[in-house]
A and B are shown apart, each in its own frame.
Chain A
Amino acid sequence: GESVGLHLPTLSVQEGDNSIINCAYSNSASDYFIWYKQESGKGPQFIIDIRSNMDKRQGQRVTVLLNKTVKHLSLQIAATQPGDSAVYFCAENNPVAGTALIFGKGTTLSVSS
């Protein structure tokens, strides 16, 4: 199964399920977006990025979808594994503001086997 919806602070799935993590970004001028994974006690780790001229980008087991109309970003993880358990953050960059990334609220993904 899979879970969709508005931003949730936590998401619990079974191993093998597909996961969907949502993010609403704040600035309509932002044109670059990244998903980061943060494991307990560690720094954020890059997963996948997308620029505003794209609606979808796929990586290995992950897909990012961008809906600029509603300022919504989602991360889809296929066949979720226990090692995917972490906090996931979306981050945006507004070119007017420079190169800094602004992070959204995180979603804690818990995968049970």
Chain B
Amino acid sequence: EPEVTQTPSHQVTQMGQEVILRCVPISNHLYFYWYRQILGQKVEFLVSFYNNEISEKSEIFDDQFSVERPDGSNFTLKIRSTKLEDSAMYFCASGLGERGDTGELFFGEGSRLTVL
């Protein structure tokens, strides 16, 4: 069964450092997302990406964050200068269709980011 894969599974970094989290979405999907989940809390939407550009973003997704689809398979989330409060599990998700199609999103296993 096709799945969304994420690397690294866990990254520890120092405050102020840049971090890049990587995702390989399901190959025929068109919509890509990043979500985050602070320990014990709900899953929060960060950004969605379609047709090689950001289509929606939340208040959390400020200038420190950026996303890129550098080739036909990878989808990355970059945090330019990490803060302690960026410590969370970051989930990549991908989806197949437009609204009117299934809106189901398939999630990866997550990348745990710990900022010290």
Contacts and interface: CB of A to CB of B under 8 A. Distances in A.
Given A99-B99, A103-B43, A105-B42, A43 B109 contact: yes
Contacts of B106: 46
A106 B55 contact: no
Contacts, number: 65
Contacts of B42: 89, 103-106
B48 interface: yes
A101 B103 contact: yes
Interface string A75-113: 000000000000001010101011111111110000000
A101 B105 contact: yes
A42 interface: yes
B50 to A, nearest CB: 8
Interface residues of A, number: 25
* B-side interface mostly: strand
B43 A44 contact: yes
Nearest to A43: B107
Nearest to B102: A49
A31 B56 CA distance: 18
The 9 closest A-B pairs by CB, nearest first: A43-B107, A103-B43, A98-B56, A44-B107, A100-B45, A103-B42, A32-B103, A100-B48, A43-B91
Given A46-B105, A49-B103, A99-B55, 8 more contacts: A46-B104, A46-B106, A49-B104, A97-B56, A98-B55, A99-B56, A99-B103, A103-B35
